[in-house]
Amino acid sequence: MLPCRPVRAPVGQIAAPMFPDGIGWLNAEPIQMDRMLGRPVLIEFFDVCRVSSLRTLPYVKAWAAKYPGLRVISVHAPGYPPSHDLDVVRAAIQRLGIEHPVVVDNQMAVWRLYGNKGWPGRYLFDRTGKLVLVHYGEGEYADTERAIGECLGTEVEPMTPLRPEDAPGVLLEPQTADISLPADRGRLELVRDWADGEDWIAAADAGAAASFSYSAGAAYAALSEGGVEPGLYEVEGTVEAESPGLRLHGVQFTPVPPGPS
């Protein structure tokens, strides 16, 4: 998802929704937003199979560690079938070093409550539980951190951008749109047979391949079945099945890093 400007909501108009009963949690016992009054709360929607979520995650983790007065809660909302598997999500959270609370939103109940529009989706609430910032996609990390400081009543020094394309005000080249399957099957050059599924295409036999052209910093394929661990794999324009049944769910792209100024 392309970055967009954060949206500041007038304080006092939009209150933080309550988490639904019975929803799953990792790294914490269930938390209710009304119990958070008196401290700002950052809600971040993410998916362990979305590269934009993984690129944003280091900032979210850093804010959780840097600002003890801030409550950070990530909401894992699955965009691909592998992301529905709790074992896959639990292993990814451990591998990625996520220590703050994570809501497991497999039924997209929290997503609907927020009217969330994509991955990642960021919502900052002040000490009174009112919304002060919304941001979709990568980027705007410095503005978010300054808003956190405002909620905490302290001046902050935003962290140094982790990548050149994260710098405030940087202009990025347009990048190739993500490939969703099977809807975007026509954007692929397929070798051998691939069968369409609900939200994937599957290789009929070993040696089947799917190639695509792109203009981006990097390409990541969401894969499962066929002898691979479910998740994201960086690829260079081609996905090749080593075993029958490999499922290709989609391809995502990262921004093109800016050139020398």
Contact 103, 28 (CB under 8 A): no
Q: What is the pTM (predicted TM-score) of this model? A: 0.91
pLDDT per residue over 146-193, tens digit each? 999 999 999 999 999 999 999 988 888 889 999 999 999 999 999 999
Residue 236 has pLDDT above 90, yes or no: yes
DSSP conformational letter for 169: T
In whole angstroms, what is the distance from residue 139 CA to residue 121 CA? 11
Structural domains in the chain plus CATH codes: 24-166 (3.40.30.10), 179-254 (no CATH)
In whole angstroms, what is the distance from residue 180 CA to residue 84 CA? 17
pLDDT per residue over 85-115, tens digit each? 999 999 999 999 999 999 999 999 999 999 9
